[in-house]
Every structure is written in C-alpha cells, then in structure tokens.
Amino acid sequence: MFTKHDNAGYRESLPGIRQKTLAYGEKSLMVEFRLQKGAVLPIHKHPHEQTGYLVSGRMDLTIGNETSRIGPGDSWCVPGNTEHGAKPIEDSVAVEVFSPVREDYLRNCQD
C-alpha cells in the first residue's frame, strides 16, 4: 500500500486536535496528529501499543506517572492499557503508530 501526501481528510477529534490516518496494514496503523497550542489531549488509555515521533512543535507528554517536555525529533512508546495524555505548548505535528490496528481510526479513513 502506498499513500501519497494530501492535505484533505483531517478530522477534528477534540478541540484543537486534528488527525488523519495515513497508512495501515493487518497489524499496525499510522496516524498524523496536528495539535494546536493550548489544546488538551486528556489522560486516557486503550489496549493498543502506541509509538510516536514529534515532527514539529513542543508539548508536555504524560505516560503513566511520568511527564516529559518533548521537541522535534523526540519519540516515545506507550504500552497498551497505560494512561497517557498531552498538552501542546506550541502548534505541533506528531506521527504515531498503533498496534493492533485501531478499528475506530480505520473507519475514519474510509469515510
């Protein structure tokens, strides 16, 4: 599967947070998130393992009981069923991979 860059297809998942499923396979799914300064991704958890890379911006990322200020080029891994959340302190772009595939995000890219 190849996916070409396209500025269409972003959905607002929370105020100030837009997302787009980029590519997916049988076992993983990749999503781009665009987060506005001041938005809040509240603490939550899900069964999917989640690895991420910050393309641009800065944010405070909480995984479990630890919070870290991350910047461009930083990456992370959130084990499944682990509480996590984020607060962008600048407009930010992050790319994250989920395994297994998040069916809720897969449906979004097929609409």
The answer to whether residues 35 and 16 touch, using CB atoms and an 8 Å cutoff, is yes
Long-range CB pairs of 13-17, under 8 A, 24+ apart, other chains included? 14/39, 14/40, 14/41, 14/42, 15/39, 16/40, 16/88, 17/41
> Across the 111 residues of the chain, what is the mean pLDDT of every consecutive 10-residue run?
85 95 94 97 97 98 98 98 98 98 76 45
Is 2 a member of any domain? no
Number of independent structural domains in the chain: 1
pTM of the predicted model as reported, rounded to 2 decimal places: 0.91
Task: Give domain status of residue 50, yes or no.
Answer: yes
Q: Which domain holds residue 76?
A: 12-110
